[in-house]
């Protein structure tokens, strides 16, 4: 089958490699793609916020399957436009993408489906915000209701900071603070069935020991040796299956990747947020571990045919470390020259924000590369990822040195 993958980051590089490795994929097109992806797929320039451009490209190449990476085209309804033309799409409709597009909508669906999440109040006036902040008390959790490119959430014990953020948003969700480790658990759904992937953990803060500003994600690892043994089954029963059933009952079935951001609290699992697409950088550890052929899997999801599928995993661990440009996340420096990559067995280097100029590879985004090491356990996977990333130079760039460190130490101690 001919596949069109939309997006240009490390996530798309990992997905692209997975799709390409499946013998069912006869040709892979990626738009816009990046220099890493162009080594194995045909890249096409386009504006991903234009549904018309995506549809035109899918028709031009005769795509049998379109896989949408980022949230913006999904929230814009590109999946609906493609399905109208009878093209199979892995990615939710505009209506279903509201699970990421609107926090209030996600809360309503969770409430109807009986899915455990933080108690919350949606506010539109100053008075409502003040009341809600006092109801929950510190630490305050204040979320912009709409898509905010990862900048919409403020968690703080400073009431003024919380209030100021609330006022800066049109509609805001103020909620209970959840205590417990965070886990990302993805489900692949065809609208009726949903397959839970194994969990991953990502690292959102820019610097070691979880300090510094929030980022898109500085690293990730999977599996989680410390997590409860029933986490997949429990999340399937309490979160994924009821969400899919509720979306279907509403007449807006969810077809695509449902990303559950979870807190494992003393009272059980709670949903922090949903996204409607593969997470970045979790995808860069999950796809290299997934044995199930990816193109066939996503095609089955896109064509209501998942019921008999079981996911198979390598019995290995993966750790990914993000190389970020100087100044990331606030003011990333673009244009720095990236050195050649080392060749290390069981290491995959994904391009996230790179471009080619006359001189070679240069940084073009805040997150530049995502370096994944695979090993028999987290310690071995970390060693490989860090050995590789330490041999790549980009002036001013930085990376966290503690990705999966605590989990690796705990695993060794067992």
Closest residue (Cβ) to ligand GLY? 279
Cα–Cα distance measured from residue 398 to residue 408, given in angstroms and rounded to the nearest whole number: 22
Residue whose token pair is 């995959």: 348
Region 168-227 residues binding ligand GLY, contact defined as CB under 6 A: 202, 217
Region 191-220 residues binding ligand AMP, contact defined as CB under 6 A: 204
197 or 389: CB nearest ligand AMP:
197
Q: How many Cβ atoms are within 10 Å of 212's Cβ, its own excluded?
A: 14
Q: Could you say whether residue 175 binds ligand AMP (CB under 6 A)?
A: yes
β-pairing, 27-32 with 42-43? parallel
Q: Could you say whether residue 153 binds ligand AMP (CB under 6 A)?
A: yes
71 or 190: CB nearest ligand GLY:
71
Under a CB-based contact definition with an 8 Å cutoff, are residues 400 and 389 in contact? no
Q: What count of Cα atoms within 13 Å lies in the side-chain half-sphere of residue 119?
A: 6
Q: Could you say whether residue 280 binds ligand GLY (CB under 6 A)?
A: yes
Under a CB-based contact definition with an 8 Å cutoff, are residues 263 and 181 in contact? yes
Part of the chain binding ligand AMP (CB under 6 A), chosen from 59-67, 91-99, 175-183, 244-252: 175-183
* Chosen from ligand AMP, ligand GLY, none, partner binding at 202 (C-beta under 5 to 8 Å by type): ligand GLY
Q: With contacts defined by CB under 6 A, how many residues of the chain interact with ligand AMP?
A: 14
12 or 280: CB nearest ligand GLY:
280
C-alpha distances in Å from residue 83, one per residue of 14, 65, 79 = 25, 10, 6
Kindly state the tokens that stand for 404: 């999966």
DSSP secondary structure, 29-51, as one string = EEEE--TTGGGTSEE----TT-H
Q: Which H helix or E strand runs over 383?
A: helix 378-389
Q: Could you say whether residue 144 binds ligand GLY (CB under 6 A)?
A: no
Q: Could you say whether residue 177 binds ligand AMP (CB under 6 A)?
A: yes
Q: Could you say whether residue 275 binds ligand GLY (CB under 6 A)?
A: yes
Least distance (Å) from ligand GLY to the CB of residue 137? 27
Q: Summarize as ranges the residues that interact with ligand AMP (CB under 6 A).
A: 118, 141, 143, 153, 155, 175-178, 182, 204, 261, 272-273
Q: Summarize as ranges the residues that interact with ligand GLY (CB under 6 A).
A: 202, 217, 275, 279-280, 282
């Amino acid at each position: 089958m001919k596949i069109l993958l939309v997006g240009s980051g490390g996530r798309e590089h990992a997905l692209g490699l997975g799709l390409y490795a499946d013998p069912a994929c006869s040709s892979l097109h990626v738009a816009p793609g990046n220099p890493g992806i162009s080594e194995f797929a045909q890249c096409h320039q386009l504006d991903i916020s234009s549904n018309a451009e995506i549809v035109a490209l899918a028709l031009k190449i005769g795509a049998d399957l379109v896989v949408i990476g980022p949230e913006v085209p999904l929230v814009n309804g590109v999946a609906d436009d493609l399905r109208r033309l009878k093209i199979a799409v892995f990615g939710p409709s505009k209506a279903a993408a509201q699970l990421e597009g609107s926090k209030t909508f996600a809360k309503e669906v969770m409430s109807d489906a009986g899915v455990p999440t933080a108690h919350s109040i949606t506010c539109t006036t100053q008075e409502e915000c003040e009341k809600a902040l006092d109801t929950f008390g510190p630490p305050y959790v204040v979320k912009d209701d709409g898509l905010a490119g990862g900048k919409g959430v403020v968690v703080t014990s400073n009431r003024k900071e919380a209030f100021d953020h609330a006022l800066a948003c049109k509609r805001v969700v103020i909620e209970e603070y959840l205590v417990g480790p965070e886990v990302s658990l993805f489900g692949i759904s065809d609208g009726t069935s949903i397959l839970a992937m194994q969990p991953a953990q990502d690292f959102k803060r820019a610097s070691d020991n979880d300090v510094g500003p929030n980022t898109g994600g500085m690293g990730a690892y999977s599996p989680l040796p410390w997590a409860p043994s029933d986490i997949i089954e429990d999340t399937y029963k309490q979160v994924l299956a009821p969400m899919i059933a509720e979306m279907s009952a509403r007449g807006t079935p969810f077809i695509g990747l449902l990303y559950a951001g979870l807190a494992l609290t003393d009272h059980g699992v709670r949903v922090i947020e949903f996204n409607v697409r593969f997470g970045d950088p979790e995808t860069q550890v999950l796809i290299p571990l997934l044995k199930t052929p990816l193109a066939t899997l996503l095609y089955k999801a896109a064509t209501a045919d998942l019921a008999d599928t079981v996911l198979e995993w390598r019995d290995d661990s993966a750790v990914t470390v993000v190389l970020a440009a100087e100044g990331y996340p606030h003011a990333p420096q673009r244009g720095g020259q990236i050195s050649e990559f080392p060749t290390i067995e069981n290491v995959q280097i994904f391009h996230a924000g790179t471009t080619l100029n006359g001189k070679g590879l240069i940084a073009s985004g805040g997150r530049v590369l995502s370096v994944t090491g695979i090993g028999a356990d987290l310690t071995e996977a970390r060693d490989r990822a860090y050995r590789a990333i330490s041999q790549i130079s980009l002036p001013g760039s930085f990376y966290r040195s503690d990705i999966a460190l605590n989990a690796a130490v705990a695993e060794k101690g067992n």
